[in-house]
Every structure is written in C-alpha cells, then in structure tokens.
Amino acid sequence: MNEQANKPVVYVISDSVGETAEFVVKAVASQFNSGHVEIRRVPFVNDTDTLRDIIEEAALGHAMIAYTLVLPELRETIREESEKRNLIAVDVMGPMMDAFARLLKINPHLEPGLIRRLDEDYFRRVAAVEFAVKYDDGKDPRGLLLADVVLIGVSRTSKTPLSMYLANKRLKVANLPLVPEIEPPEELFWVPKNNVIGLTIDPKQLNEIRQERLKTLGLHAQANYANMERILEELEYAEKIMRKVGCPIFDVSNKAVEEVANKILQVVREEQQDAK
C-alpha cells in the first residue's frame, strides 16, 4: 500500500509565493515528526473561482487548508466555503494583520506579495552597496563592464559619495580616478558611453578641497596634490579622456551629492526608456 496516499494533506494557499504559510506549516508539522502530513503549496491565487476549485479538491481528500490571503474577499470566500464542507482552515496572516490595523489605527495596503517585493528591494540595495565598495576607486577594472554606471574624474570630485548614494537607489556603480601618469584601463572604452558619467569641478574649489584634505591627514597644505598647476593639468587630462569616451559630463562645483546624483539618475532613466 502507498504510504504517501494515506497521509493527511495540508493545502497551503497564497495570493503570493506562499513561502510564509508553508514555513509556518512545516514548523508546526515538525512538532509531530513532520512526515505525518503531505504539504501541497498553491501560489498566486487571486480570484474566487480558482479558490473554490482548490477548496473542492481539498474537500474530496478531507484535507486541511492553511492560507495567507490579504484580500478580504478571498479570505471571506475561504472561510465560507470551508465551513460548508466542514474543512479545517487556518488563516495564517489575517489575525496578525487585523491586530496591526488596531494597533496602528490605519488600514493595510492589501497588496499581495508586498513583503516579497520589499525583501527583493532590500537585497538589491545591499548587493549594489557591496558592488560600489568592491569597485571603488578603480580597484578592479573588470567592474567597469558589470556596472550600471561608471563615474570618472580626478580625485575629490565626489566619486565615492555619489557611488554610495546611487547604490542606495539600487544601481551598481563603479568609479575610476583619472590621473595623468596612469593610462585608464582599456575596459573603460568598452563601456557604452551613456553608461559613463564624467565629473569635473572648478579648479579653485578643488584646490580648497584638497588643501583641507591634506590638513585632515596632517600633511603639508602646499603638497603637489593641492598645487594649482597640478590641478589644472589633471582637469585637462580628465577632460581629454571624457571627450575620448564621449560620455556626459557633470560639473560638481558647489553642488550637493544629492543634486548631482539626481541628474545622473535622470540620464540613466532616459537611457533605460530609449532602450525599451
């Protein structure tokens, strides 16, 4: 005799993936040695006709139902139909959602799969931040080809702060310093030009920023790093590379990171729209 056929069945019904309800069912089943029941997950149920068909199937097998449905009409349907057929039906999420509504004194969004979308959004943001750290300051030129956006410019043009800001918008960003004595990696010229953003700045402001940076590091403020001739040389070289790449160029002089980042985001979105 087939032992599996004799096991009680628990239908896990959800208007999303159904992972939450299945996890709860498995956790409870583990208290009864787990193997005593068969779990059948039915995801993405979003209409009453489909729901009634599943309940009818469950009734034929004298099964139990566990469900996570956020839409009130679906929850009411499963309650009514289960009662008619004398089926055991457990609302896994409903009581907690009702309790939150009483606690917060606001109504829930009632959007199926919202928690999964929030989780995906969170993990994409974390991955983007990790990417920005890994490919910061030209550490690995291979990242240029993997990035959504590549920022190029001389030192102290806000490349790293912009990278982190854009990463929090879920964009994978690599940045590359441009230094006259160092040829940029050939990968830079393989990147689509609209994926590259050049950053420039007023020489006097850059001079002030670099002098303050040297003071912070306890170094002499007149070092070559903050020398005006050197700064002009670097900016001229950087502009030459940006023209060769053919990328958009943003002047970060007297601009907040958020302001420049929003302009970059606008370019990225326009490029995405053109690609569709």
- Regarding whether 184 and 162 lie in a shared domain, the answer is yes
- Regarding whether 178 and 82 lie in a shared domain, the answer is no
Total tally of structural domains belonging to the chain:
2
Q: Which residues face 176 on adjacent strands?
A: 152
Range of the domain at 170: 121-275
Three-state SS at 90: strand
Average pLDDT over residues 186-213: 95
- Regarding whether 73 and 129 lie in a shared domain, the answer is no
- Regarding whether 100 and 134 lie in a shared domain, the answer is no
d(CA 272, CA 225): 38
Among residues 88, 112, 136, which one ends one of the domains?
A: 112
Where are the alpha helices (H) located in the chain, listed in sequence order?
19-29, 48-60, 72-84, 94-104, 114-134, 142-146, 159-167, 203-216, 228-245, 257-275
pLDDT tens for each residue of 247-262: 999 999 999 999 999 9
- CATH code for the domain of 97: 3.40.50
Q: Percent of the chain, pLDDT > 90?
A: 59
Give the per-residue pLDDT at 107.
76
Among residues 57, 80, 112, which one ends one of the domains?
A: 112
Distance, C-alpha 250 to centroid of its chain: 26
Among residues 80, 112, 144, which one ends one of the domains?
A: 112
Average pLDDT, the chain: 88
Contact by Cβ (8 Å): 75, 94: yes
Residues 6+ apart with CB under 8 A from 6: none
- Regarding whether 156 and 70 lie in a shared domain, the answer is no
Split at pLDDT 50, 70, 90, the class of 2 is very low
Give the per-residue pLDDT at 111.
64
Split at pLDDT 50, 70, 90, the class of 17 is confident
CB count in 10 Å sphere of residue 82: 19
- Regarding whether 183 and 208 lie in a shared domain, the answer is yes
pTM comes to 0.62
Six-digit token string for 81: 């139909």
Average pLDDT over residues 194-215: 94
Average pLDDT over residues 98-125: 72
Helix axes 159-167, 257-275, angle to 10 degrees: 60
pLDDT tens for each residue of 115-155: 555 556 767 888 899 999 999 999 999 999 999 999 999 99
Give the per-residue pLDDT at 35.
65
Give the per-residue pLDDT at 70.
82
- Regarding whether 107 and 128 lie in a shared domain, the answer is no
Q: Residue 185 carries which DSSP code?
A: P
Give the per-residue pLDDT at 5.
56
- Regarding whether 250 and 209 lie in a shared domain, the answer is yes
- Regarding whether 147 and 206 lie in a shared domain, the answer is yes
d(CA 214, CA 211): 5
